[in-house]
Amino acid sequence: MGARLMTRPPVVGLLYPGYAAEDDFPALENALGGAIRLPLVHTSIDRDEHSVEALLDTGSPDRLAEGADAIAVHSPDAVMWACTSGSFVYGGDGAASQAAAIAERLGVPASSTSIAFVEAARALGLGKVAVAASYPADLAGHFRSFLAAGGIEVVSFGASGIFTAVDVGRLGPEAVVGMTVAVDVPDAEAVLVPDTAMHTLTCIDALEQALGKPVLTANQVTVWEGLRLARASRPLPGLGTLFR
């Protein structure tokens, strides 16, 4: 760990599209007493739709470049494109290009939530998972393909058909737990919940207790990947197996 990281908390900058569950991140900052910093800027969107067309626009180079310029004021150690659907719709190569463009623009490591899911699954040695997606089935299928390209087999799959991020953000903890438990099967080594529009950072331990296995959620893996890239990985309470 470099001297800069030892003299202040690690800073993971978040590029977050629109408004839905962005309050998950400052709530985590507060719960951890300032051990990490998660400054966030809202990237622009045209339409709040869980459709491939809308999300290709949401993750476009111009929108991400604008967000990267805005987050630079926070001097981040790493930056995350905190959007699962706006990265996996580009496929593996496209998601890698998104991250590379942000990193080149800011001069710090960058990644995205979709890439973070694959990295987190590899870190835990997961080969077979269940997926509890909030999206319509056609969009959720792109996430399944993204995982397959990363060597992760989806053995159970649920798509809740929620069409907007705002509506996903309104889901309470009981709904999130119910959605996650519904897709679990014995063959699944973990359950993945892929939407940064969903509030999950306060219920990961409850999810793991209900399932008896690891749970990876979008906001959780986003923070984990950012800290990994910043070379500031550490155990953190309340964030499940991934952070233990």
Per the structure, how many domains does the chain have?
A: 2
Q: What is the pLDDT of residue 4?
A: 44
110 and 31 both lie in a single domain: yes
73 and 139 both lie in a single domain: no
Q: What is the pLDDT of residue 1?
A: 38
Q: What is the pLDDT of residue 46?
A: 95
pLDDT tens, residue by residue, 128-174:
999 999 999 999 999 999 999 999 999 999 999 998 999 998 998 88
Task: Give the residue numbers spanning the domain of 208.
Answer: 123-217
Q: What is the pLDDT of residue 3?
A: 39
Q: What is the pLDDT of residue 173?
A: 85
pLDDT tens, residue by residue, 1-58:
343 445 899 999 999 999 999 999 999 999 999 999 999 999 999 999 999 999 999 9
Phi and psi at 112, nearest 5°, equal -140, 170
77 and 131 both lie in a single domain: no
212 and 234 both lie in a single domain: no
154 and 207 both lie in a single domain: yes
* pTM recorded for the entire structure: 0.95
163 and 226 both lie in a single domain: no
132 and 198 both lie in a single domain: yes
Q: How far apart are CA 185 and CA 58, in angstroms?
A: 33
Q: How far apart are CA 167 and CA 50, in angstroms?
A: 11
Q: What is the pLDDT of residue 5?
A: 41
Amino acid type, 4: R
94 and 164 both lie in a single domain: no
- Asked if 189 contacts 127 with a C-beta cutoff of 8 angstroms, the reply is yes
Quick one: tokens of 26? 């400052």
94 and 111 both lie in a single domain: yes
pLDDT tens, residue by residue, 90-127:
999 999 999 999 999 999 999 999 999 999 999 999 99
237 and 145 both lie in a single domain: no
CATH of the domain at 137: 3.40.50.12500
* DSSP line for 145-199: HHHHHTT-EEEEEEE-----HHHHHT--HHHHHHHHHHH--TT-S-EEE--TTS-
Q: What is the pLDDT of residue 204?
A: 95
52 and 24 both lie in a single domain: yes
139 and 204 both lie in a single domain: yes
Q: What is the pLDDT of residue 65?
A: 98
